[in-house]
Structure formats: C-alpha cells, structure tokens
Structure 1
Amino acid sequence: MLRGLLGAGVLALLAGLGMAMWVALRVLATVHALNTAALNLHQGGAFQLPPLQLREAQEVGQALHRAAHAIEQVQYMANHDLLTGLANRGLFFEVARQRLELARRQQRPVALLALDLDGFKAVNDTEGHAAGDSLLKEVAERLQASCRQADLVARLGGDEFVVLLSDSDAHQARQTGDRLLAALAPPWTASTQAVTASVGLALFPDHAQALDDLMLEADRALYAAKGNGKSRLAVAGSA
C-alpha cells in the first residue's frame, strides 16, 4: 500500500516537473520571439509579430505592433510633404546626393528640373488658401502621373517643385520637361485661374558636379524661363 502511494507520488512529481518544464519552454520561446521582434524594431527593421500563445505575451506583441505603426507614421511625416504627399526638402536632398554619387561612379547622366507655378498667387488672393492647397495637390498628382516611378518628385515649399531624373540625358530631360509643361496647364479642377508652370533644366555632369551647384544652375534656368515669358522650359547655360 505504502509502496503504491510512493509510486503514485513519484509519477505525479515527474508529471508536474514535465508540465513545469513545458510551460517554461513556452514562456522562454515567447520571450525570445518578442525580444527579437523588439530588437528588430529598435534597429529600424520591418516589424513582424511572431506567433504567440500566452495571453500576456499577445498583449505585449500588440503593443509592439502599435509602436511599429506609430514609428512608420513619424518617419513618413518627417520625410514627406504633408499637403501633397511628395518627398519633402530633407528627403529630396538625401536621396538626390545618393543618386548623384551613384551616377558619378557609373558615369551616368542625371537631370534636374526645377518647377515654379505661374499665377499661383492669384489663386490664394481671389479664391482663398483652401483653393490654393487643392491646386497644389492637383499639381503633385499631375507631376507623379507624368514621371517615371524611378524619378524623384519633391515639393521644396510653396509652389516650388523639383524632379530628379536618373540616367537621363539632355534630350530625354527636355522631353520630360515638355511633358510636365503640358501636364501643368489649365484647366484645373481646383481653380479657375490660368495657372501654368515654368521649368529650369540642369544636367549632371554637364552643368555642375555637386548637388548644390546643380540646384543653383536649375534655378537660374528657371528664372530665365520666367523672364522670357513664363510657361516654358529653359536649359542651364543657354540664356
């Protein structure tokens, strides 16, 4: 009788130890999975919620998922123009410098188009800033629709936009510039004003080697286009 009770007790103890070990392994695996996901999130990688079984761990995982989503939103807002959704000045300069360096190593041409709207002030003055904001959104949509997916389209501020064309020579850049002029012509859905655009074109490495100098040459060409009647394209060095 006593021997049977002792045997049953040993079996129960072994079963309890086995169950405890199984639970401990599940907890350790869950903690490891959450730690890996959190570390990846901290390092800026994509967040993937691992399969979790413990309720508390699932709650932690959901909290990490919400944190990852919030980080993505902050990063997007830091790099994009909130009105139009285009790349902002900071993102443009960061990406443009990288692309120019790559073009320099590969000895490939790059074109920069600087755009400014003609007659935009009249929209704000006569129809209000809400109409002006709507027009800027429409401009951004037309620019993106007229450019390649690989082209970098950005709003620098106000009614100033830039487009960086990788692996684009003078002929291809002029074609793109003419296409953008046609795209940014009235009529507009957002306004009744006859808003158009002027475009300045500068080429790497023909007109400048550094991004700041390339921007300066494109701006000078833009001013020349405006000075010659607006709603046209001018090339750096041709004025």
Structure 2
Amino acid sequence: MKSQHSYSQVEKEAVYRVIKERRDMRHFSHEPLEKGLLTRLLTVANQAPSVGLMQPWRFIRITDNALKSSIKTLVETERNITAELLNQRKNDFLKLKVEGISECAELIVVALPEGREKHLFGRRTMPDMDLASVACAIQNMWLAARAEGIGLGWVSLFDPIQLANLLNMPEDSRPIALLCIGHVEKFYEKPMLIEQNWAQAAEVDTFLFENSWPESK
C-alpha cells in the first residue's frame, strides 16, 4: 500500500536520479561557485542525522594558496606510498587522477572535533558512530551538489596526523575528508574507477543476507 506521506512521483524520481547520478569527481574547471552556494551545501550537511544529535562535523574552508599547496603535497606523498604497496597495479593506480585540489573552486576539510568522549548517547558501545554521522553529512553535500550541477570529490589520500598538524587542529580531533567542490565540464557517465577499469561495482544482492551471516564457501 502506498504511504500517505509519499512525495509526488516527480519528486521521488528526482531523489532517485540524484542518488544514481552522484559521482566522485576529480576533474574541475576553475570557475568560482555562485554566491551563497557553498553556504547552501554546508547547511544541508548540518542537517544530516547524527547519533545523540552530537553534530560531530567541523568544516575548514581552505582559501590560502600556500596552505592548499601543502595539502596537495600531503596527498601526493600518500599517493606514491599507496602506489608502491599495490605492487602489480602500481602503474595503473598512478594513471588515476585522485584529486582536483588545484582546479576546484572550493577546498573543504571535514573533521571530527575534540571532546567526543563526552557524548555517550549511542556511542558507549559503538564509538565510531561519530564517524558514521560525519559520513552522512558529506553524503548530504554530495547529493545537493549534484542537484545543483556542481561536482564534489572526496579525497582520503593523506596522513591524518600530518594534516591535523598543518591545520593546527586540537590533539583529539581528526580530519576525515578533503572535499574538492566546483564546476565540471561534464559528469562521468559511470563512476570514474569503473570507466578507468580499476574496479567493477557489484549488485545489491551480493551484500544482502538473511537472518545470519552466510557460511564461507
């Protein structure tokens, strides 16, 4: 039976479309964002669900070019370390574009704050729920950006301690993501890693179990 709280068919199709067409973008043009757009994206991030309503997200907007260059160096260092560990796939990995720091309109560092241990609601046995909450905030930004026709890429290739030191973050805080946000010439038709033959996505049935974990074969 259809729920009385359901959106209209057009509205539902828009929601499903933006989820399907969201992409982790790496290629950006240098155009600035329209006035107020970054604020809108951060506002929907702040509307994400969070365990115990702790809102464990912090956003650092990077506008200093020297700092941006230092962050890019951290990413490149980790990229090379990762490449060495991939052995036979090293050359394939090095061909992938892993960030758009120099080309994007906005660079945002998303971090967990210090003092998270005081939040016990929902975290006593699952302390990583703060991280899950931040991931929801980033997903909100991602979907809103796609609806706005703006690209967003989540970069995780960096040493978190080095990045925290670079940004003068408190000892107990933790950087989670570098978000590259900006205009793009086009969105990838498929996720970039699929287009570049790095990996293939599995269907949902692969991950769906019933009542218990399946026995190993």
> When the two structures are superposed, what TM-score results if normalisation uses the length of structure 2?
0.30
Higher relative contact order (CA 8 A, sep 6+): 2
Which of 1 and 2 has greater Rg? 1
Structure number with the higher helix fraction is: 1
> When the two structures are superposed, what TM-score results if normalisation uses the length of structure 1?
0.28
